[in-house]
């Protein structure tokens, strides 16, 4: 179909086209790129590794061979590349502050007990701030004590647990608290947790230590302390545990 435009119609179309061109020209002429002026240091280049595996700057805490990175690790069993909780809790030989942790765990496939007595363990940052590990697949307990809870403080946003015996992942970002000389908190601790790739704790601000028998509270401690894996009487299996220390943002050194 052919549309015929009169003289006035053609003039109108021409004005529209010229207006658009003018607008883009004017816009292009007056837009200036924002520059912060902050001279950042160049980010370090790392190899991210295979999916789920340790990046090149990670500290490998368990690679399936031994528990030499852990105090008390000799009490745990190593079978088929898995560490099985037994004989007591273990703590890292190194101390850590702000960090990213990846670990994989499996609660027992043979279900015994219920509530807190079923597949119970936990990862403690600085020996004080716990992300709960529990078999919470069709297993009721108090919500701030189920799997992926910040113990006795915050339930997970959702229950993302797999069935008993199936492997699950935690990817955790921990931001350590800061204290002044008098012991007052100047910055609280924060935890972000992904369970099986699902966000379950979103930069949650901790109210203090995670205790069973008292309310959360902060007590001044060192800037760097060990990480603990809890033995709670259940043979939880672990594999592929690694950690990255989180560096601060750095300004470029003056030339």
- Whole-number pLDDT of residue 17: 43
Could you give the CA distance from residue 156 to residue 118 in angstroms, rounded to a whole number? 18
What's domain 59-245's superfamily in CATH?
Answer: Exo-inulinase; domain 1 (2.60.120.560)
- Residues with Cβ within 8 Å of 124's Cβ and at least 6 positions away in sequence, in order, are 130, 210, 227, 228, 229, 230
pLDDT band at 47 (very low <50, low <70, confident <90, very high): very high
Tell me the pairing of strands 190-195 and 198-205.
antiparallel
Q: What's the pTM value of the predicted model, to 2 decimals? A: 0.85
Domain residues of the chain, as ranges? 1-32, 59-245
Give residue-wise pLDDT tens across range 117-127.
899 999 999 99
Q: Whose structure tokens read 């809870």?
A: 149
Distances (CA, A) of 186 to 3, 45, 153, 210, 211: 73, 32, 20, 19, 21
Give residue-wise pLDDT tens across range 170-214.
999 999 999 999 999 999 999 999 999 999 999 999 999 999 999
For residues 53-76, b (16+ Cβ closer than 10 Å) or e, as one string? ebeeebbebbeeeebebbeebeeb
Task: Please name the helix (run of DSSP H) or strand (run of DSSP E) that holds residue 91, with its range, or none.
Answer: strand 90-92
pLDDT higher than 90, residue 12: no
Give residue-wise pLDDT tens across range 129-181.
999 999 999 999 999 999 999 999 999 999 999 999 999 999 999 999 999 99
Q: Tokens at residue 82, please?
A: 């898995």
Distances (CA, A) of 104 to 112, 133, 196, 225, 252: 21, 11, 9, 22, 37
Whose CA is closest to 49, among 64, 61, 60?
A: 60
Whose CA is closest to 128, among 166, 91, 167?
A: 91
């Amino acid at each position: 179909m052919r549309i015929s435009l009169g003289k006035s119609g053609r003039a109108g179309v021409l004005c529209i086209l010229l207006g658009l061109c003018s607008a883009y020209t004017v816009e292009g002429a007056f837009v200036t790129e924002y520059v912060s002026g902050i001279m950042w240091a160049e980010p370090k280049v790392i190899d991210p590794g295979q999916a789920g595996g340790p990046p090149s700057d990670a500290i490998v805490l368990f690679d399936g061979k031994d528990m030499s990175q852990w105090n008390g690790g000799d009490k745990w069993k190593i079978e088929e590349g898995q560490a099985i909780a037994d004989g007591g809790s273990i703590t890292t030989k190194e101390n850590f502050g702000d960090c990213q942790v990846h670990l994989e765990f499996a609660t027992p496939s043979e279900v015994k007990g219920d509530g807190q007595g079923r597949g119970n363990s936990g990862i403690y940052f600085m020996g004080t701030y716990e992300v709960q590990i529990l078999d919470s697949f069709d297993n009721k307990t108090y919500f701030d004590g189920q799997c992926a809870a910040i113990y006795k403080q915050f339930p997970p946003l959702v229950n993302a647990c797999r069935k008993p015996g199936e492997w699950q992942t935690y990817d955790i970002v921990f931001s350590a608290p800061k204290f002044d000389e008098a012991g007052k908190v100047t910055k609280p601790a924060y935890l972000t947790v992904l369970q099986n790739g699902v966000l379950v704790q979103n930069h949650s601000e901790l109210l203090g230590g995670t205790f069973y028998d008292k309310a959360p509270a902060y007590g001044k401690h060192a800037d760097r302390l060990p990480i603990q894996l809890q033995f709670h009487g259940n043979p939880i299996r672990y594999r592929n545990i690694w950690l990255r220390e989180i560096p601060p943002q750095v300004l470029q050194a003056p030339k």
